[in-house]
């Protein structure tokens, strides 16, 4: 009987929300598994953006590191001056060069993504509709180039597109052109480079959706009098839409900030924002300006993409 | 229907040709005696000889392999922790933040990641004196940060697809959390961890932009050396290097495929 008050007390404690904190030992293993990657990302992913934001408000200076400090301590007085330089951002707005670079990156990436879809779709369709034991082989054929060096794949096109290169030779031999045309260092070469290097990113998500496609729906459409073209656009395309969106995002996102492809295959007039940022940083050594370009790029390009991606992600796809 | 599938076959075939012509041309040109692309000077192995005598390329390759190895080991550890925390640990403070941070590096343009990490290292150096110089260490940190994101995503999707009943059974039988993880969960997600490791290795070996930002003078990785050579035009030694890389990858893919096919057959006979 004397145990009853004790039990009542336990019940009272159990009803109390603070119980886990009181009774459970701190679970060190669990804490570590969560906090180690968390701290790593906080230090090496999140804080860097705070630093970029800070430096985008400073001024370029001939010093090591080449920018001014926001805070300046007066050596004999006890006050500090806080200087916020908006000049970089104002300059971004003033000089149409940067706006052009943003727009042209989006344009180039969008066209290249559409081209990748056009090239990738038939390939993904063929692989998904192939006999199961051939599928693995065809998929390996698509993935193999992806495992080799990205830089070398871009480089391969430099040799092919050159003025004296094989493609020009073939076009001349067949009489399409009379003398070599300039293909390297044009936007055309940039499109080829992007389509070529990011094709696997398009094919894989398309393949996984087409593979699950129910063939009987297409048969039904045909039985109901749909012509193949109609059933393709009215039945197939809507059903593989998640794959199309996923593939397009996977190509568009890296393409928009691309540096290597425009600098190796593009001409001096191929404006892409990744290249502008790089040049601002390494050639002009204007780190604050490069930071301002990065901040605007983040706000204007990356955050919308992340938003779209999350919206789609929440619907259970991608 | 028949006609359309011929059309499909034709366009897909063009796609595969598009995919392989550049690689085949790299291989062929690597055996070209002449230095000029487009001028065939007969078969020769001379560029392979020059490649192996080029100390700059050899040193850079060794440095890159070194960085890629350490990076992928670190990325696998950190990425698995993050993936595990997000799928198997219920709710905790900062879960939303962690899941946002872990996927964000995947959509971040390389130039931004590179610049932000460089500015972090510079700021840290002036505040704490660490890292004292930029080089191997800073490249490893930068690569680990974006590679762990890929590993976390792979591990996370594997854990989400996996049946929890085995882990529950082990828990019911009294396994401690640590032995539960190392004896039950880890063997089950091993394939995801291996593919995460391989992916990290290739991504690290392949990265030019981020490494160029965070590396210091005298620490050129293989992509940095290739880029500086290639910028000036076509270099036959690089063709030889590309051919060797294609060969290694092709052998790897064929081995992996045979392995998978054998496994498929085993599964079929078991069923």
Q: Is 1.10.3720.10 the CATH classification of the domain at B56-235?
A: yes
Please check whether residue B213 touches A, CB under 8 A.
Answer: yes
Residues A5 and A110 in one domain: no
Confidence of residue B42 (pLDDT cuts 50, 70, 90): confident
Residues A40 and A136 in one domain: no
Please check whether residue A40 touches B, CB under 8 A.
Answer: yes
What percent of chain A is helix, strand and coil (3-state, nearest 5)? Answer: 75, 5, 25
Could you count the other beta carbons within 10 Å of the beta carbon of residue B217? 8
Res A15 pLDDT > 60:
no
pLDDT at A316: 42
Residues A297 and A236 in one domain: yes
Residues A173 and A299 in one domain: yes
Question: Which 3 state secondary structure label does DSSP give A311?
Answer: helix
Residue A316, judged by CB atoms within 10 A of its CB (0-12, 13-18, 19+), counts as exposed
Is A254 within the bounds of a domain?
Answer: yes
DSSP B140-162: HHHHHHHHHHHHHHHHHHHHHHS
Residues A226 and A168 in one domain: yes
Q: How far is CA A274 from CA A159, A261, A282, B58, B122, in A?
A: 24, 10, 12, 30, 21
Residues A135 and A7 in one domain: no
CB contact under 8 A, A55 and B178: no
What letters, b where the CB count within 10 A reaches 16 and e where it falls short, cover A199-217? bbbbbbbbbbbbeebeeee
pLDDT at A1: 44
Residues A162 and A249 in one domain: yes
Is A80 within the bounds of a domain?
Answer: no
Q: Cβ distance A126 to A145 under 8 Å?
A: no
Query: pLDDT for A116-169, tens place per residue?
Result: 999 999 999 999 888 887 888 888 889 888 888 889 999 999 888 888 788 888
pLDDT at A22: 39
Residues A117 and A259 in one domain: yes
Residues of A in contact with B249 (CB under 8 A): 144, 147-148
Phi/psi region, residue A229 (left: phi>0; alpha: psi -120 to 50; beta: rest), is alpha
Cross-chain CB nearest to A257 (options B111, B126, B257):
B111
Query: pLDDT for B60-107, tens place per residue?
Result: 999 999 999 999 999 999 999 999 999 888 788 888 888 888 888 888
Residues A124 and A193 in one domain: yes
pLDDT at A6: 58
Distance from the A4 Cα atom to the nearest Cα atom in chain B, whole angstroms: 31
d(CA B237, CA B50): 7
Residues A204 and A125 in one domain: yes
- CATH number (domain holding residue A190): 1.10.3720.10
Q: Cβ distance A41 to A52 under 8 Å?
A: no
pLDDT at B54: 87
pLDDT at A28: 77
Residues of A in contact with B133 (CB under 8 A): none
Is A219 within the bounds of a domain?
Answer: yes
Is A247 within the bounds of a domain?
Answer: yes
What is the token pair recorded at A111? Answer: 């066209």
What is the token pair recorded at B57? Answer: 């390329």
B-contacting residues in A 280-309 (Cβ below 8 Å): 281, 287, 290-291, 294, 297-298, 301-302, 305-306, 309
Average the pLDDT over each of A63-72, A272-281, B17-26, B127-136 and give the range with the smallest value. Answer: A63-72
pLDDT at A20: 47
Is A67 within the bounds of a domain?
Answer: no
Q: How does the average pLDDT of chain B come out, rounded?
A: 87
Residues A135 and A279 in one domain: yes
Cross-chain CB nearest to B119 (options A52, A137, A143):
A52
Q: What's the complex ipTM? A: 0.87
pLDDT at A103: 92
Which of B229, B206, B210, B40 lies closest to A158, judged by CA?
B229
B-contacting residues in A 86-125 (Cβ below 8 Å): 119-120, 122-123, 125
pLDDT at A66: 72
Confidence of residue A314 (pLDDT cuts 50, 70, 90): low
Percent of chain A with pLDDT over 90: 27
Is A72 within the bounds of a domain?
Answer: no
Domain boundaries, chain B: 56-235
Is A64 within the bounds of a domain?
Answer: no
Residue A232 DSSP one-character state: I
Q: Which residue has the higher pLDDT, A262 or B260?
A: A262
Q: Which domain holds residue A213?
A: 88-314
Segment A278-287 shows an average pLDDT of: 86
Is A57 within the bounds of a domain?
Answer: no
A-contacting residues in B 6-35 (Cβ below 8 Å): 8-9, 11-12, 15-16, 18-23, 25-26, 29
Q: Which residues 6+ apart lie within 8 Å of B208 measured at CB? A: A150, A151, A260, B221, B223, B224, B227
Count of domains for chain A: 2
What is the token pair recorded at A156? Answer: 């391969």
Residues A183 and A255 in one domain: yes
Query: pLDDT for A159-177, tens place per residue?
Result: 888 887 888 888 888 888 8
Confidence of residue A76 (pLDDT cuts 50, 70, 90): low
């Amino acid at each position: 009987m004397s145990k009853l008050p004790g039990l009542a007390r336990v019940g009272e404690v159990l009803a109390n929300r603070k119980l886990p904190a009181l009774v459970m030992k701190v679970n060190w293993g669990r804490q570590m598994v969560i906090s180690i990657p968390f701290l790593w990302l906080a230090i090496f992913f999140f804080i860097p953006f705070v630093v970029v934001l800070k430096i985008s408000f400073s001024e370029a200076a001939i010093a090591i590191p080449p920018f001014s400090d926001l805070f300046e301590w007066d050596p004999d007085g006890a006050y500090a001056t806080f200087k916020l330089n908006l000049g970089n951002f104002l300059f971004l707005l003033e000089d149409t060069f940067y706006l052009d670079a943003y727009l042209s990156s989006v344009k180039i990436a969008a066209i290249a993504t559409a081209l990748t879809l056009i090239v990738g779709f038939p390939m993904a369709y063929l692989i998904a509709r192939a006999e199961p034991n051939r599928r693995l082989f065809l998929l390996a054929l698509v993935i193999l180039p992806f495992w080799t060096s990205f830089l070398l794949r871009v480089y391969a096109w430099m040799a092919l597109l050159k003025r004296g290169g094989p493609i020009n030779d073939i076009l001349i031999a067949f009489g399409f052109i009379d003398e070599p045309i300039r293909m390297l260092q044009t936007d055309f070469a940039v499109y080829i480079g992007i389509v070529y290097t990011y094709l696997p990113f398009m094919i894989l998500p398309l393949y996984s959706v087409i593979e699950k496609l129910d063939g009987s729906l297409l048969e039904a459409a045909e039985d109901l009098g749909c012509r193949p073209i109609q059933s393709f656009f009215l039945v197939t395309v809507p059903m593989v839409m998640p794959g199309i969106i996923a593939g397009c995002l996977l190509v568009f996102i890296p393409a928009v900030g691309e540096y290597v492809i425009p600098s190796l295959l593009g001409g001096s007039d191929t404006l892409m924002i990744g290249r502008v940022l790089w040049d601002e940083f390494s050639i002009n050594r204007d780190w604050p300006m490069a930071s301002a370009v990065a901040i605007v790029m983040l706000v204007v390009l990356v955050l919308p993409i992340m938003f779209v991606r999350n919206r789609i992600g929440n619907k259970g796809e991608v | 229907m028949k006609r359309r599938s011929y059309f499909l076959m034709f366009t897909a075939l063009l796609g595969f040709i598009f995919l392989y012509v550049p690689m085949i041309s790299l291989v062929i040109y690597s055996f070209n005696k002449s230095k000029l692309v487009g001028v065939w000077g007969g078969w020769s192995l001379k560029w392979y000889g020059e490649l192996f005598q080029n100390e700059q390329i050899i040193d850079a390759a060794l440095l890159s392999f070194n960085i890629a190895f350490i990076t992928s080991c670190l990325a696998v550890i950190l990425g698995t922790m993050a993936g595990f925390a997000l799928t198997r640990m219920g709710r905790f403070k900062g879960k939303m933040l962690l899941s946002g941070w872990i996927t964000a590096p995947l959509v971040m343009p390389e130039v931004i990641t590179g610049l932000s990490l460089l500015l972090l290292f510079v700021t840290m150096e002036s505040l704490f004196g660490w890292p004292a110089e930029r080089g191997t260490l800073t490249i490893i940190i930068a690569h680990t940060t974006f590679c762990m994101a890929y590993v976390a995503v792979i591990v996370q999707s594997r854990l989400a697809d996996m049946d929890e009943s085995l882990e529950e059974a082990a828990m019911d039988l009294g396994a401690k959390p640590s032995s539960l993880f190392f004896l039950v969960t880890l063997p089950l997600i091993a394939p995801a961890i291996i593919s995460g490791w391989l992916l990290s290795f290739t991504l690290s070996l392949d990265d030019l932009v981020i490494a160029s930002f965070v590396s210091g003078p005298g620490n050129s990785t293989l992509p940095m050396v290739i880029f500086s050579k290639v910028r000036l035009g076509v270099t036959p030694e690089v063709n030889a290097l590309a051919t060797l890389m294609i060969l290694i990858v092709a052998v790897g893919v064929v081995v992996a495929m045979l392995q998978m096919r054998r496994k498929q057959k085993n599964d079929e006979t078991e069923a």
